[in-house]
Chain A
Amino acid sequence: MKYDIVLCGVGGQGGISVSVVIARAAMAEGLRVKQSEVHGMSQRGGEVLAHLRLSDKEPASPTIPLGSASLILSFEPLEALRYLPWLNAEKGVVVSATTPLKNMGTYPETEKVMSELSALPNKILLDADAIAREAGNAKAGNMVLVGAAAKLMPIKPESIEKAIRELFARKGEQVVEANLKAFEYGRKANS
C-alpha cells in the first residue's frame, strides 16, 4: 500500500500543520511516513509545496514521482492546477479550496481556473473558508479540507481527530474544538 499526497497553497496558509496532522494520524495506524517541505524564501507569499508519502513500507524518495500522487490537497485553486502533473491520471483526486488568492498581477481569470478544475475527472471543490466560518473558526479552512479528503485517505477519521487534539492541545481546548468542528464540517461536505 502506498498513498502519496501533494499539499499545496500559498505561504502562510497553514500547510505544514495539515501535513503534521495527517502524518501523525498515519503513524498512529502503523504506516511509514515521509514528508518533504520547502522552507525559506518561498514562504514569503510564494507558492508553498509539501509532499507527504504514506506507505506500509518505508518510502524511498522524499519527493513524489510524477503521475503518482493519490491526492492533491490544495488551499488555493490555481496552486491545485500547478501540481496536476504529479497526480495519478486515473485514480488521483483533487481536493481544493475555491477561494483564489491573487497576490500577483499575472493571476488568470477566476472562471478559467475554475473551469480547468471542474473538468478534472476526480475532484472535490469546496469553499473551505465559508465552511470554516460556519464551523465557527474562519482560520480553520485547512482542517475543512482535511475533513473533505478524510474518506479518501487510508486513515481512520478517529486517528485524524486524535492527531488534531495532540497538535493543538497546547493552544487550549477552544482551538482544539474549533479545528475538530472544521474537520467534521469538511467530512459532511463530502459525505
Chain B
Amino acid sequence: MRPLDASGLPDVMDDDWPLDVSGLPDITDDDFSQWRARMARETMMGDEAIALGAVHAGLGGAFAYPGTPSTEIMETLQEFVKRQAEGKLDGVKNAFTAQWCANEKTAYESALGSSFAGKRSMVSMKHVGLNVAADPFINSALIRINGGLVVVVADDPGMHSSQDEQDSRWLADFARVPCFEPADPQQAYDMTREAFELSEKIEAPVMIRITTRLAHSRSLVETSAAKAQGAIQKPKVTKDWILMPANARRRWHEVLGKQPELQAMSSSSSWNPLSLKGEKLGVITTGLARQYWLENADEYAAAKGEIAHLHIGFYPMPEASIRKLYDACDEILVIEEGYPYVERQLRGIVAPGKKIMGKETGEIPYEGELSPDLVRKALGLPERKGLAVKELSPPGRPPQLCMGCPHADSYGALKEALKDYSQHAVLSDIGCYTLGALPPYNAIEATVDMGASIGMARGAASVGLRPTVAVIGDSTFYHSGLSNLIDAVSHNTNMTVLILDNDTTGMTGAQPTILPSSRLEPVLKGVGVHPDHIKVIRAHKNEHEKNVAIIKAELAHEGPSVVVMVRECLEALKKARKA
C-alpha cells in the first residue's frame, strides 16, 4: 500500500469539531467498499491512468491527434473537461483544455506554447506520430522548458493497428530527453505525475513511453490528491526559447552537461530497482516486460534458484546499476518490448566477456509483442500447453469495412471508372479505407504514411504514369495531405485526388475531424484547385453511374482535380445515437 498524499485535503479547524453528522445517512461497510472501489482505487486502462495523472498533476493544456493505441488519453481528458465543468471531477478546481489537433506536429507545438505560457502541458500520440512531430520534439529538448511538458508516446509492437513497430525510446535518447516507461496502469498514473515535476525541475521535456498492452489493459489504480494548476507565467528569459545558432549552441552544451546528473538520477531512481539476490542469471526488464517476467518469476526461483534483477522504468540507462548487476552475475537476459534498446546500450556500457542474451541473440523474438510464454521460453522453463483444435485450422478473420460503409461505394465507383485503362495507379493512405486493399475491393496499391497518397500519386504522375489517383480520408487530408496538394497545384500535376469525406476520424473510433465537411471545398478552392475540377458527390451506390462518369471525366483532365466523396461514417452515426 502506498502512503496517501494528503497535501491537497482541506484542513479541519478546531471550530469544526465535533462535526455535526446528525443529518447524514448511516454509512454501511458496503457503501464504504463501493466508495473505495469507485473513487480511490478504480480500474483504469493505462491510457486513462495517464490522463488522470496529468489532471491530478495540475494540467493546463493537452493536445493530440488520434492514433491507436494512444487515442483514449485525449478521449479521457475531454471527458474530464466536461466533468470538471460540472464540478464532478474530485478535487480539480481549475478548468483545463484538451484539444484534438490537425496532426501530431501541430499538437506538439500547441503544447510547447502552453508550456511557454507557464502551464503544465501534455501532448500524446502514437509512435509514428512522433515522426511527424520529430521536428518540434527534438528541438524542444534545447529549450528551457517553462510549464512542465510531458510527451506521451504509445508504441505498437506487434503492429495491431500500425504500419511499423518503431521504439520511441530511441527518439528520446536521440533528443537527450529523459523517458519513463510504466509497467502497469498504477505506474502510468504515478509516473505521469512525476514526469511533470521532473520536467519543471530539469527544465526539459519528458517522455512517457507506453506500449499497446499497457495502453489498453485495466487494473486497479490508487490515486492521490490533485494539485492546483499554476498561473500564467511566461519564461523569465526568452532567449532560451529562441533557437538561433548562438543560443542553440549554448543550450545544446547545457543539455549535454545535464546528462551525468540524469544518469545518476537513473541509477538511484526508485523506478529502477536492483536486486542482487542471485549470482548466476541476471535479468533486466523494462516497462511492461516486468509483468511477463513476474508471471514466471516464482516458478523460476523454485526450479532454478534466486535470480538477480534490475528493472528499468526510467531512462537514461542506469549505468551504475547495470555494472553492478553485470559484475554480480554470470550471464544477463534482457527482456524488453520493442527494439533491443537496452540490450544494445548494454553492450556499450559493460566490458565484453559475459554472455548477454535478448533479441539480438534470439532468446527473445526480435519482432512482435512479448507474452508470458515467450518470456517463459527465454528463461528455459517448460512450455505450457492448452488444448488444440483437432482437424480444423481456424482461418483468420481479417478486419473489414462495416456493412454499408460509404468507402465501399467509393471504391466501387473508382474501380469502374478505371477499368478501361490498361495502366493506372491508385495510391492510398492511413485510415479505414486502407481496408480497400483486401478482397472484395482490391482497389489500392500503396499505403505508407499519413498524407503520402497525394505526394506519391503526384510523384508517379510527374514522371509520366497516368492516370494516377490518390485516395485519402478527410481527417488524413487535413493531417498532412494538404501540403502535398499544394505541390500538385503548383506544378499543375496531372492527377486526381479522391477525398473520402465521412466527416470523422473513423478508424480510431470516430473522433471529430479538425474542420467540418463544409470547410473542405473552400479549402480546396483556396489553395488553387480549379473550381471546375472540384467535384463534391455523394458516396452511395444509388448514385453509382453518375459518380463513375464524374470520376472518369476528372481522370481525363489535364492538371490536378479533386473528387470529394461525401457520406457520414456509420460508426460515427452509431456513436452519436448512443450519446
A residues at B contact (CB < 8 Å): 10-11, 23, 27-28, 30, 32-47, 58-69, 78-79, 81-82, 84-89, 92, 103-108, 112-113, 116, 119-120
Q: Among the interface residues B372, B384, B389, B395, which one has the most CB atoms of the partner chain A within 10 A?
A: B389
How far is A189 from B397 in the complex, measured between Cα atoms in Å? Answer: 29
Q: Which residues of B contact A87 (CB under 8 A)?
A: 386-387
- With A84-B387, A86-B386: A44-B401 Cβ-Cβ less than 8 Å: yes
A34 contacts B218, CB within 8 Å?
yes
Query: A47-B397, A103-B400, A106-B395 given as contacts; is B217 within 8 A of A62 (CB)?
Result: yes
**Given known A65-B373, A69-B386, contact A44–B220 (CB-CB < 8 A):** no
B161 surroundings in chain A (CB, below 8 A): 39-42
Given known contacts A81-B392, A87-B387, A89-B385, what 13 new A-B pairs fall within 8 Å (CB)?
A: A11-B399, A37-B216, A41-B507, A44-B399, A59-B219, A63-B372, A66-B383, A66-B384, A67-B385, A84-B386, A86-B386, A104-B396, A108-B395
Cβ–Cβ contact B220 & A85, under 8 A: no
Q: Do B384 and A68 have beta carbons less than 8 Å apart? A: yes
Q: Which residues of the other chain, B, contact A27 by a CB distance below 8 angstroms?
A: 37, 43, 220
* Contact between chains at A28 and B37 (CB < 8 Å): yes
A10→B68 CA distance, assembly (Å): 19
Q: Across the A-B interface, give the 7 residue pairs with the lowest CB-CB distance, nearest first.
A: A40-B161, A40-B68, A62-B217, A46-B399, A60-B294, A67-B384, A67-B386
Which listed residue, A23, A63, A81, A92, touches B389 by the CB 8 Å rule?
A81
- Which of chain B's residues 89-147 have a Cβ closer than 8 Å to chain A? none
A84 near B384 with CB under 8 A, answer no
Complex CA–CA separation, A78 to B393 (angstroms): 10
Given A66-B385, A116-B389, verify A60-B397 contact (CB < 8 Å): no
B291/A60 in contact, CB under 8 A:
yes
A85 to B220, CA, bound (A): 28
Closest to A85 in B: B386
Residues of B149-170 whose CB lies within 8 A of A: 160-161
* In-complex Cβ contact of A116 among B220, B392, B399, B508 (8 A): B392
B-chain residues with CB within 8 Å of residue A85 when the two chains form the complex = 385-388
- Name the CB-closest residue of B to A44: B399
Given contacts A61-B291, A61-B294, A108-B395, contact A23 B43 (CB under 8 A): yes
- CB proximity to A under 8 Å, residues B4-48: 33-34, 37, 43, 45
Q: Mark B203-239, 1 if CB is under 8 A from A, else 0.
A: 0000000000110111110000000000000000000
How many Å lie between the Cα of A67 and that of B381 in the bound state?
14
Q: What are 22 A-B contacts defined by CB distance under 8 Å?
A: A32-B220, A33-B43, A35-B217, A36-B217, A37-B216, A40-B508, A42-B160, A42-B161, A44-B435, A45-B399, A60-B295, A61-B371, A62-B213, A62-B217, A62-B288, A63-B217, A66-B386, A67-B385, A85-B388, A103-B400, A104-B398, A119-B390
Query: Cα distance A88–B384 when bound, in Å?
Result: 9
A108 to B396, CA, bound (A): 11
How big is the B interface, by class?
35 or more
Is B548 engaged at the interface, CB distance under 8 Å to the other chain?
Answer: no
- Is residue B311 contacting chain A, with contact meaning CB distance below 8 A? no
| B186 to chain A: closest residue by CB | A58
Tell me if B397 and A10 are in contact (CB < 8 A).
Answer: yes
Known A-B contacts A33-B220, A60-B294; A89 and B387 likewise in contact (beta carbons under 8 Å): yes
Interface centre among A23, A36, A106, by most chain B C-beta atoms within 10 angstroms, is A36
Residue from the list A46, A60, A68, A81 in contact with B400, Cβ < 8 A: A46
* Chain B hits for A42, CB < 8 A: 160-161, 399
Do A62 and B395 have beta carbons less than 8 Å apart?
Answer: no
Asked if A45 and B400 sit within 8 Å, CB to CB, the answer is yes
* CB closest chain-A residue, reference B387: A84
User: CA A42 – CA B398 in complex, angstroms?
Assistant: 7
How far is B396's CA from A105's CA once the two chains are assembled, in angstroms?
11
Q: Closest CB of chain B to A168's CB: distance in Å? A: 13
B392 and A112 contact, CB distance less than 8 A: yes
A116 to B508 alpha-carbon distance, docked (Å): 36
Q: Are A35 and B218 touching (Cβ within 8 A)?
A: yes
Given contacts A40-B160, A45-B399, A103-B397, contact A63 B371 (CB under 8 A): yes
Return chain A residues, CB-CB under 8 Å to B389. Answer: 81, 84, 116
CB within 8 Å for A61 and B385 given contacts A23-B218, A46-B400: no
Query: Which residues in B have their C-beta under 8 angstroms from that of A65?
Result: 295, 371-373, 376, 384
A89 vs B402: C-alpha distance in the bound complex, in angstroms?
A: 36
Please, what's the 1-or-0 string for B399-413, where 1 marks a CB less than 8 Å from any CB in chain A? Answer: 111100000000000
Q: B315 an interface residue at 8 Å Cβ cutoff?
A: no
| B294 and A66 within 8 A (CB) | no
Q: Is A66 in contact with B387, judged by CB distance below 8 angstroms?
A: no
Q: B357 within 8 Å of A by Cβ? A: no
Residues of A with C-beta under 8 A to B69: 39-40
